[in-house]
Amino acid sequence: MPDTRRRSVDTKCVAQTQTAVIETGRGEKHTPLVTHRGRGAQQVTAQRTVISNKTMTTSNESQDSTCSPNAPDLENCYNHSSPSSLTLLLVGYSLLMPVGVLLNGVSLYVFIRFMRPLSVVGIFLCNLALSDLLFSLSLPLRIYYYANHHWPFGSFLCSLAGSIFHINMYGSCLFLLCINVDRYLAIVHPLRFRHLRRRKVARLTCVAVWLMIIGGSVPAAVVHTSSDCLLDGLQVSRCFEAFNMWDKAVLPLLVVAEVLGFLLPLTAVLYCSCHVFVELCRAQEIGQGRHGKTIKLLCLNLAIFLFCFVPYNTTLVGYGLLRAKLVEDTWNIKPTLKKIISVTVLFASTNCALDPLIYYFSTEGFRRTLSRMSGQKKPKPIASQETKWTSSNDSSIKPSPRTISRATEDSKLKTNETNAKVGKKLIEESEI
């Protein structure tokens, strides 16, 4: 009998009942295999149903282009996610998609329609909302995949969906970094770097961030490609689980993206937050007025970094080192890391629903605009009403010359304190 060669199963040809054909190494087709039993001969036919790796694949003599005789061999599918984790991913993305689209869509509408011109922080927050909205709109692809565990959309959309995730993750890291640096410069160095805290500089910074994160998504596009495998004898396509694409050629790109998109922003956020806390503690103004909002903003940024981005990036770097064989897998933890990566991607994705908390709780202008949009009238502050009443009753009182003299002396004494108060004014200017 000539040597046989196994070929892949096409999903469009699985249900067909075909005549068994033996293919030689030269690609020649022979007549159906005949087994002699006594005087008679019996023609053997096979039906393509459930096929294992050890059985050879048959093909029809009237084969169409979808059942290519030159199809590559396929391996059995390996489930990188347990049934419980698949359920978690499906439910998680199904909840994140409407929440992310609604919150970030409303946030962008408020920023663009009601709050222009935006301040420096407002420009960063607007770009952050745009990044989150873009990722939220791509979540239906992930929901379909985890619901059916099959990717019918082709390799291009698989790469695009993976790239959008990394664009959002690295973009969130960098835009949160910009917000923290702006608060740091306003409080710790209010005069020295005042020229950097301008709208034009903020816009140029956002353009640079977008170029950087789009370039940093190239490794994700390389790794996130669809791959085919056999599941119960059927050919299925996988996406977001193509771990076989990892090799030493991809590792340098991964390292650069991780260092610039995650490690440096995390280090800078920790540095800026600590120095701002120390500066406000030294001034004993934590929780007072706008400084309290600054503390709230920095705490939210830090919490998002630690909860959303640290688990995924830590696991990703560890798996990349093992895949590139730079670290020996002594305890055989590579399969476990594959499962952990899928879950930590969900944690990283939750930032699209958590970032709007920054807009609402840290910016008074955003809350005021939402109140007006919902039809609620914002009550006037008591302090402003008292000031107005006092000024209206005392407008007829003229100060004496002695009072004017004392006021002049007091103004001279306060001249030396002017520079110390500039930081507070800068924070008020940057409030949305």
> What domains appear along the chain, each with residue ranges and CATH number?
1-62+69-73 (no CATH), 83-373 (1.20.1070.10)
Confirm if 133 and 112 have CB atoms less than 8 A apart: no
pLDDT digits (tens, 9 = 90+) for 407-421: 555 554 454 455 445
CA dihedral 163, 165, 170, 175 (to 10 degrees): 120
Confirm if 142 and 240 have CB atoms less than 8 A apart: yes
The mean-pLDDT minimum among 21-35, 65-79, 340-354 falls in 21-35
Cα gap 175→187, rounded to integer Å? 19
* Whether pLDDT at 61 is above 80: no
Query: Model-level pTM greater than 0.85?
Result: no
Q: How confident is the model at residue 338 (pLDDT cuts 50, 70, 90)?
A: confident
Number of Cα atoms under 13 Å in the Cβ half of residue 104? 26
Share of the chain above pLDDT 70, in %: 64
Could you tell me the two tokens for 257? 């993206």
245: closest CA among 157, 184, 155? 155
Provide the pLDDT for residue 285: 56
Cα gap 164→318, rounded to integer Å? 22
Cα gap 67→235, rounded to integer Å? 12
pLDDT digits (tens, 9 = 90+) for 268-299: 999 999 998 888 887 765 555 556 777 877 88
**Arithmetic mean of pLDDT, 373-390:** 45
* Whether pLDDT at 2 is above 50: no
pLDDT digits (tens, 9 = 90+) for 229-254: 777 777 888 888 765 555 656 677 77
311: closest CA among 274, 329, 273, 337? 337
**Arithmetic mean of pLDDT, 315-334:** 83
Task: Please provide the average confidence, as pLDDT, over all residues in the chain.
Answer: 72
pLDDT digits (tens, 9 = 90+) for 78-94: 665 677 888 999 999 99
* Whether pLDDT at 97 is above 70: yes
Q: How confident is the model at residue 73 (pLDDT cuts 50, 70, 90)?
A: low
Q: Which residues of 183-204 are buried (b: 16+ CB within 10 A; e: fewer)?
A: bbbbbbebeeeeeebeeeebee
C-alpha distances in Å from residue 253, one per residue of 219, 344, 390: 6, 21, 65
More confident residue, 245 or 214: 214
pLDDT digits (tens, 9 = 90+) for 127-177: 999 999 999 999 999 999 999 888 999 889 998 999 999 999 999 999 999
Most confident region among 59-63, 310-314, 333-337 by mean pLDDT: 310-314
* Whether pLDDT at 208 is above 60: yes
